[in-house]
Structure 1
Amino acid sequence: MQFKVTEAAFEGFRLIRREPRTIAIWAVFSLAASAALMAAMIASGFGRFMGASTQGSMRPEALTGFLVGELIAIGGAVLIASIMGAAVYRAILRPAEAPLTRLRLGGDELRLVLLSVIMGVVFTGLTIALAIPVGILGVAIGVGANLGQGGAEPNAGAMVGIVLVVLLGYLLVIAGLVFFAVRLSLAGVMTFAERRLRVFESWRLTKGRFWRLLGCYGLAVVLMLPIYMVMMTLYFAITFAFSGGDVGRAMGEIAQPDMTSVAAYFSPARVIYLLLAGAMGGVLNAVMYAPAAVVYREIAETRPESQAEVFS
């Protein structure tokens, strides 16, 4: 059974229209979870590391705070994403469950957390595996150009050629990662729907559907971009206003906010931005997670049960 690209990509907006109260609750959850996560990061000492690195005075405790803050950030982001992803999947695949909020913290969410950790390891390995040949190729071309010049520095034309070849190589690395990401993109919704960890089973289910899936996800990204751009434009406008009309100060605040303390981070401009981001958060999560759920719902009947055929 095949799926319709546009219907899957627009499912998030249909969900928003069907369940506006749920989306509003998601917005509140997104705001509260994001604020709590940032407060925990800052309290861990993450901001002290940023300040020390800027001043050039690094201490062991600052590095420890940074590492703890990074773990909190990654772990918290994965947990929030798993809760929100499961909520969207639940709204589409199990509409009778938790009809008011769709939010839970149970086996479904914990399996998605575990899947995220595994996928992180998998894609880290894939990135290294794909980047190594590109690096070797770049070194080999550089050495060859150097030898061709009799040991002298390569001329400008040779340098441009080396840069272009390496750039092409890294574009191929990105293309390879996109290919694997699309082929494994149904792992999350499969793990949720089947109530067991499904890591590579998505490979078989997406066979022969790569381009349709890429088009579906690409369209969903295009639909999310205006929302994100409006949010960032408003954020800049608010920061610009609170900075007294100083563009440089506003850009600095956005690029590197003061994280030395919770009070310093939650400035009036950032509080307003977080309120806007929270309001947008429910919408963005619906648009982001809904396509995979619809695709799975439409094509799951064709999934082979033989685990031996996963990579065929």
Structure 2
Amino acid sequence: MNLTFDFAFEGFRIIRERPKLIAFWGAITLFGYGVMSLIMVHVAGPQIMAFVKMIIAQADTGSAGVDQAFMINISQQILLAGLMCLPVHVVMTSVVLGAVCRVAFGETDDRLGFLAFGWQEIRLIAVKTASLAVIAALFLGVALVGTMAGLLIGGANSQAATGLQTLGVIAGLGAAIWLSLRLSLNGPHSFDSQSLNIFGSLAMTNERFWSLFTGYATATALAMVVRFLCDKIIEAVQVLSLGLRVTGDMIMPDMTSIVSFLTPASVIALALTFAVVAPLMAAIQLGAPVAAYRALKGRTPVRKVKEEAAR
């Protein structure tokens, strides 16, 4: 089957036809992102704020020096916080993906916004976890090759070693993006076949890299536009409800502690972002691979079936 560019807009169609899904999916994203935000603040909040202050100070003074020990500490805390957030993100994304699959594949029971938690969601969690593990292993493997090549050729402190390490990281990122795209259909595939199918996506995406890449890039860009516009609306709500001036604190709240993080302005912004903006972005970004899978499988979109029946 040919893959048309139309799949990139599936998320917009879903929300346009069923706007009430935002309320149901927003409850899931509000809880998930809320928990992840608290984890980030508790585990790495002070380090994140110290890093932001360092960047601002360097921009003001024009200096570029970095304390290596300081950066290592920041990186370790942020990595730890990210790893603690990862299970929450995987579960949340898998539950919403299951709902998106039900909408796109034509199920009609939308009492809870197509949300459920059963074997399908457990299967999606397993597929997502396995995919992330494989992608991370590929990235680390390619990056490690660059590091080892630099050490063998120029030694630990040479410019050649630094250059090859950087090249290895860039190549690793490229390989990770390539594999992410090639595995992007394994969630919808596993949902549709009701089986754990991690690598079946490779055959479906063969020779379709650029078609998928263009569609996903478009969906991501549209999601960023939606996020930008919604952020401006949220800022207006903060100004009107609390009488605040538009400042950088609205965009970057104080993460030094949970108490300083949960100010009225921050709570309003987080609640609106996680409950309204996040489900919109999830529909756009998760809807694209589901629609791509449906197109490659030769399924007729549900809306077209209804249009033909109405005629």
Name the TM tier (shorter chain).
0.7 to 0.9
Separation in structure 1 between the aligned mates of residue 48 and residue 283 of structure 2, nearest angstrom: 38
2:294 maps to 297
2:42 maps to 47
Q: Rg: which structure is higher?
A: 1
1:305 maps to none
1:275 maps to 271
Closer, same or farther: CA 117–96 of 1 in aligned 2, 3 Å: same
The amino acid of 2:116's aligned partner reads R
Q: Are 1:187 and 1:202, in contact at CA under 8 Å, matched by a contact in 2?
A: yes
1:184 maps to 183
Displacement, 1:29? 3.4
1:122 maps to 134
The amino acid of 2:127's aligned partner reads L
Displacement, 1:229? 2.7
Moved more, 233-242 or 176-185: 233-242
Summarize deviations over 1:163-204 as a string: whole Å, max 9, x none: 555544432222111111111111111111111111111111
1:133 maps to 145
Q: What TM-score do you get using the length of structure 1 for normalisation?
A: 0.73
Identity in percent: 24
Q: Please give the secondary structure, in 2, of the residue aligned with 1:20.
A: coil
RMSD of aligned Cα (Å): 3.7
Displacement, 1:301? 5.3
Separation in structure 1 between the aligned mates of residue 297 and residue 15 of structure 2, nearest angstrom: 24
Closer, same or farther: CA 244–12 of 1 in aligned 2, 3 Å: closer
Which of 282, 285, 291 is equivalent to 1:285? Answer: 282
The amino acid of 2:264's aligned partner reads P
Displacement, 1:19? 0.6
Residue 254 (1) aligns with residue 213 (2):
no
Summarize deviations over 1:259-303 as a string: whole Å, max 9, x none: 345xx432111111123212112211110111111111121259x
Structure 2: runs of 5 or more not aligned: 51-76, 300-311
1:219 maps to 218
Q: Are 2:150 and 2:163, in contact at CA under 8 Å, matched by a contact in 1?
A: no
Closer, same or farther: CA 134–120 of 1 in aligned 2, 3 Å: same
1:307 maps to none
Separation in structure 1 between the aligned mates of residue 166 and residue 298 of structure 2, nearest angstrom: 42
The alignment covers a number of residue pairs equal to: 271
The amino acid of 1:286's aligned partner reads A
Separation in structure 2 between the aligned mates of residue 168 and residue 53 of structure 1, nearest angstrom: 27
Q: Are 1:236 and 1:254, in contact at CA under 8 Å, matched by a contact in 2?
A: no
Residue 87 (1) aligns with residue 99 (2):
yes
Separation in structure 1 between the aligned mates of residue 146 and residue 236 of structure 2, nearest angstrom: 42
Q: What TM-score do you get using the length of structure 2 for normalisation?
A: 0.73
Structure 1: runs of 5 or more not aligned: 56-64, 147-152, 303-312
Displacement, 1:239? 8.2
Summarize deviations over 1:56-107 as a string: whole Å, max 9, x none: xxxxxxxxx9999766522222111111111111110142243551111111
Moved more, 27-36 or 81-90: 27-36
